[in-house]
Copies of this chain bind each other. A is one copy, B any other.
Amino acid sequence: MVEFAQAHLSIVKHFDDIISEREVARLRSEKPKNRMARQIGLPPGSLLHMDLERDAKSKITLFHYDEANLVRRECMLSQELAPPLPEGITWIHVTGTLNLPLIERLGEVFSLHPLVLEDIVSSEQRPKSEDFGEYYFIVTKIYMLEGRRIVTGQASFILGGHYVISFLEEDSGLFAPVIERLTHPKGKMRKLGADYLVYALIDTIVDHYFCVLEQFGDDIERLEEAVVSQASQDNLQEIHDLKTQMLVFRKAVWPLREMISTLERGQSGLFREPTQLYIRDVYDHITQVLDTLETYRDVALGLLDMYISGASNRMNQIIKVLTIISTIFMPLTFIVGLYGMNFRHMPELEWNWGYPAVLLVMGTIAGGMLWYFKRKGWI
């Protein structure tokens, strides 16, 4: 009888696991709290409050090119950057965590505004473009896939008349295809100016957005099926996480469209006529990303409604089982209880066919109920 109690207990326990067990420990980077408090009231253009000490990892690649020649040089120290720039187009590609002397040196050599330097090293800068006359400053967000993981970052660009400076937080090989194309002597990139190079870099970033978008689409498709077939608490968490990811992605892409639209309208002399057609093409792509994202968000919202409706449906089914069981057995249990009473004078008990008669009545009730529930479509 003790085993019975044990067994009884273990049935109930089972559900408990389903309810309370969940892998709460999502991998979160242990970011330092009150990060923001440190920089309150600092003068604009302050670079000191940023974590710029790790200069070991930064890398500078210089490209000097024109239609005929291409020179590529790596330099590890900011001192190597010395004006004047050679003829043709110069591309200074800075990757890795930024270091303070490098940024200061670049600011000096190219007379960059302190606010520009600050925006370059800030990893939370919103996509934007600013025209400083002498040069054009652009900030964009990177969203790319590493396997199934979404990796984010920031890319900034300085476009001068004959030079481009690009900044990447990490050396991710993002611009490898552009460098590859640059090495082809007959390529369009070698013929067109520095503005076309900036276009090509931004275009590469936007190409990666489509991969991220494709993964969102796959996730939605997978969740659509999961929600209908099982609908666990994990699905709920996944829907929520997907929605949050899409919101954050949207926050990065939305201002980029605005920015590209500004470039396209061509108010800056630095983006010249032939490049503007290409900028319009990027604009097109970003609009497509945003349109699709909007559709995905609406579908994701619908997923949640399906989840809730499905849960409600399942509950209906469970309660139906309970109700049918109760509706059948409660009357039967009453009847057997009735003839379990100990009254001295209960004539039925004395009848020879009393027992079979009661069995018959109970069978009729149970059968009738079953037939009724069947007709009603409950079973």
Contacts and interface: CB of A to CB of B under 8 A. Distances in A.
A167 interface: no
Given A15-B317, A243-B302, A345-B352, A336 B331 contact: no
A314 B274 CA distance: 62
Given A214-B36, A304-B305, A368 B312 contact: no
Contacts of A357: 1
A15 B320 contact: yes
Interface stretch (A3-11, A72-80, A82-90, A100-108): A3-11
Contacts of A348: 343
A57 interface: no
Contacts of A200: 43
B1 A361 contact: yes
A54 interface: no
Contacts of A33: 214, 218
Contact of A341 (B125, B278, B342): B342
A1 B338 CA distance: 12
A153 interface: no
A42 B278 CA distance: 13
A210 B36 contact: yes
Contacts of A261: none
Contact of A310 (B36, B130, B233, B337): B233
Given A24-B225, A319-B322, A333-B333, A211 B365 contact: no
Nearest to A372: B9
Interface class of chain A by DSSP: helix
Interface residues of A, number: 149
A347 to B, nearest CB: 8
Contacts of A14: 379
B311 A278 contact: no
A323 B324 contact: no
Contact of A309 (B176, B304, B341): B304
A251 B292 contact: yes
Contacts of A109: none
Contact of A233 (B22, B254, B313): B313
Q: Top 10 nearest A-B pairs by Cβ distance? A: A41-B177, A336-B337, A339-B341, A329-B330, A5-B365, A1-B361, A40-B207, A36-B210, A14-B379, A343-B355
17 contacts: A1-B335, A1-B357, A8-B365, A11-B324, A11-B379, A20-B376, A24-B225, A33-B214, A41-B181, A43-B187, A125-B288, A251-B292, A304-B309, A322-B327, A330-B330, A342-B346, A344-B349
Interface of A: 1-2, 4-6, 8-9, 11-16, 18-20, 22, 24, 28, 33-37, 39-44, 113, 115, 124-126, 128, 130, 145, 175-178, 180-181, 187-189, 200, 203-204, 207-208, 210-211, 213-214, 218, 221, 224-225, 228-229, 233, 236-237, 240, 243-244, 247-248, 251, 254-255, 277-278, 280-281, 284, 287-288, 291-292, 294-295, 298-299, 302-327, 329-346, 348-352, 354-355, 357-358, 361, 364-365, 368-370, 372, 376-377, 379
Given A44-B203, A326-B326, A332-B334, 6 more contacts: A18-B317, A240-B305, A307-B309, A325-B330, A341-B349, A342-B349
